[in-house]
Amino acid sequence: MNILVTGGAGFIGSHVTNLLINQGHTVEVLDNLSSGFRENVPPSAKLHIMDVQSPEASALIQEKRYTALVHHAAQMDVRRSVSDPAFDVQVNILGLINLMEAGRKSGLRKVVFASTGGAIYGEPEAGPQSEIHPQQPLSPYGISKLTSEKLLHFYYHEYGIPYVALRYGNVYGPRQNSHGEAGVIAIFSERLLANQPTIIHGDGLQTRDYVYVDDVARANLAALNFNESPTAFNIGTGVETDVVTLHRKLQEALGIHRAAKHGPGKPGEQRRSVLDCTKADDGLSWKPEVSLHEGIQRTADWFASQKIGD
């Protein structure tokens, strides 16, 4: 396939780009480098430094006539979406419309969309949450991702462009940018290595489903090869871990033992999230392969290799 990966210079997108290239696909990357880095893009993938909302991005898609769009570019920060919901809408909703309008005019044949598991469902009525769990997002970020899924359904119904939405748990791993994407594992790793205080917001017993980035990249590859009716799949582990436990595991992996401080809770964040991924196993033949213990050790080793704090 001839594939455009938006956000391909970022954390998740760059891992997806690498895997797709390794599988023999022709891949180009669109990224405005607001949180991504040039060095994350492999030499064989041409980098287009553009914003998803721009006329230039639309023109690129119409000129190159990509077979598939793997859409990871987004405003990803739940807290920023609460403080600035208009910006969230501009990037996540209007940006998607800009790309899809270009795609429908240029023969786009497949979309894989990076959605969200926890933020779409809101506080769980029961857990793990399956894809049919009520969708009651508690933040503009979750609302924008759910709206994007509905928009993709419109483009399928109206223009015949099939899609797969991947509803991620909390993705972690090497290359995560603690400043741009606010991943708690990246934040804790950097601050522990830099001998700076680590802050747990609230009591730290809030839970998330942490899924390793290589597993997420494999899910994207499986979604590209999925040829049935458009749908959404949860991509997680089915295991929930609280923040206090996560901090302890990172200390052990880094060999740094320093207690965290507790600060006030953050608005827009839910208390609990854990995903039922049975549907992905059945439909995509996908299941996570990297345990939290192994994934945290790999991630800690990567951050230590970057000599954070030197």
Instruction: State mean pLDDT over 226-237.
Output: 96
CA distances from 7 to 112, 140, 213, 252 (A): 13, 20, 14, 32
Q: What homologous superfamily is domain 2-170+211-235 in, according to CATH?
A: NAD(P)-binding Rossmann-like Domain (3.40.50.720)
Distance, CA of 24 to CA of 284 (rounded, Å): 20
CATH node for 173-208+239-275+290-305: 3.90.25.10
Tokens of 213: 């980035």
Burial of 38 (0-12, 13-18, 19+ CB in 10 A): exposed
> How do the domains of the chain map onto residue ranges?
2-170+211-235, 173-208+239-275+290-305
Residue 309 reports pLDDT greater than 90: no
Tokens of 260: 């965290």
Model-level pTM?
0.93
Residue 250 reports pLDDT greater than 80: yes
The 10s digit of each residue's pLDDT in 80-92 is 888 899 999 999 9
Q: How much is the mean pLDDT over the chain?
A: 93
pLDDT value for 80: 83
Instruction: State mean pLDDT over 267-293.
Output: 91
The neighbouring-strand residues paired with 28 are 4, 46
The 10s digit of each residue's pLDDT in 140-180 is 999 999 999 999 999 999 999 999 999 999 999 999 987 64
Confidence class for position 268, pLDDT limits 50, 70, 90: low
The number of residues in the chain equals 310
Confidence class for position 307, pLDDT limits 50, 70, 90: low
Q: Which residue of the set 66, 121, 141, 155 is catalytic?
A: 141
Instruction: State mean pLDDT over 69-84.
Output: 88
Active site residue 121: no
pLDDT value for 4: 98
